[in-house]
Amino acid sequence: GNSVTQMEGPVTLSEEAFLTINCTYTATGYPSLFWYVQYPGEGLQLLLKATKADDKGSNKGFEATYRKETTSFHLEKGSVQVSDSAVYFCALRGGTSYGKLTFGQGTILTVHP
Amino acid sequence: GAVVSQHPSWVICKSGTSVKIECRSLDFQATTMFWYRQFPKQSLMLMATSNEGSKATYEQGVEKDKFLINHASLTLSTLTVTSAHPEDSSFYICSAIRTGVLGLWTGELFFGEGSRLTVL
């Protein structure tokens, strides 16, 4: 079956530091890959996505590249802000899953001024 | 943008009682919704797929008589935890698919803010 493994948190950074949150997956076929973010008291929001190998998803300064050879989809941001403090979830959707997602365990990010 | 709302956001109940959690799509019709459960420091686990006007499809290992799902309208799905016990304490999250013309999925998926259940 499908599975997603994220680096364990929590991750604590100072403002303007570089962020990497690792995500690797196991899936059959050609899944789509996602990063979701959950701010305190809010629902999960789609941050970025990639639907095929070598695609790069990007949004709000965050980037992630779909690497089929390493089955990875690591999230990066060059300079984090306090407002980026949230929980980040890596997820995949199999080709025939029609909206069903398999999630990683989530990584708590805290950014200090 | 599209919003999915859950209610209540947190609930505390006594063991043996039943608790209902609502998931509403506020500005779009959602023929399909999903219910997830999240344990502390663990990923969201899909419990079931809720389809408007038909029975929910449960994932393997999820007790359908324990977690009753009703999707009676295009904007509302409910999850009822029956005869709740402390091991049912968890964070429950719903998501909804946004469909467009002819009921086809637009590719958009929206999540509720979650409901935290604590069973004493």
Whole-number pLDDT of residue A88 = 95
Closest-CA residue in chain B for A108? B41
Instruction: Encode B73-111: b = buried (16+ Cβ within 10 Å), e = exposed.
Output: eebbbbbebeebeeebbbbbbbbbbbbeeeeeeeeebbb
Q: Which residue in this structure is represented by tokens 């899953």?
A: A97
B interface with A, Cβ–Cβ < 8 A, is 4, 6, 9, 32, 34, 36, 38, 41-46, 49, 93, 95, 97, 105, 109-114
Least confident of A41-45, B1-5, B17-21, B98-102: B98-102
List pLDDT tens digits, range B94-112: 999 887 767 666 667 889 9
Per-residue pLDDT for A44 more than 80?
Answer: yes
Q: What is the pLDDT of residues A27-43, one digit of tens each?
A: 988 899 999 998 887 88
CB contact under 8 A, A104 and B105: no
- Residue B30: the pLDDT is 87
pLDDT reading at B40 higher than 80: no
* The predicted structure's pLDDT at residue B83: 96
Residue to test with chain B: of A32, A47, A101, most B Cβ within 10 A: A101
Mean pLDDT of A11-28: 96
pLDDT value at position A97? 65
Q: Which chain B positions have a beta carbon within 8 Å of A108's beta carbon?
A: none
What band does B66 get if pLDDT is binned at 50, 70 and 90?
very high
d(CA A43, CA B5): 8
Q: What is the pLDDT, as a whole number, of residue B97?
A: 87
Whole-Å CA distances, A8 to A77, A87, A88, B50, B76: 17, 11, 11, 31, 35
Interface membership of A35 toward B (CB under 8 Å): no
Instruction: Tell me the torsion sign for CA atoms A25, A51, B57, B44.
Output: positive
What is the per-residue pLDDT for A112? Answer: 96
- pLDDT given at position A100: 85
Share of chain B above pLDDT 90, in %: 68
* pLDDT value at A51 more than 70: yes
Q: Give the model confidence (pLDDT) of A73-113 as tens digits.
A: 999 999 999 999 999 999 999 866 677 899 998 999 999 99
Query: What is the predicted pLDDT for the residue at A82?
Result: 96
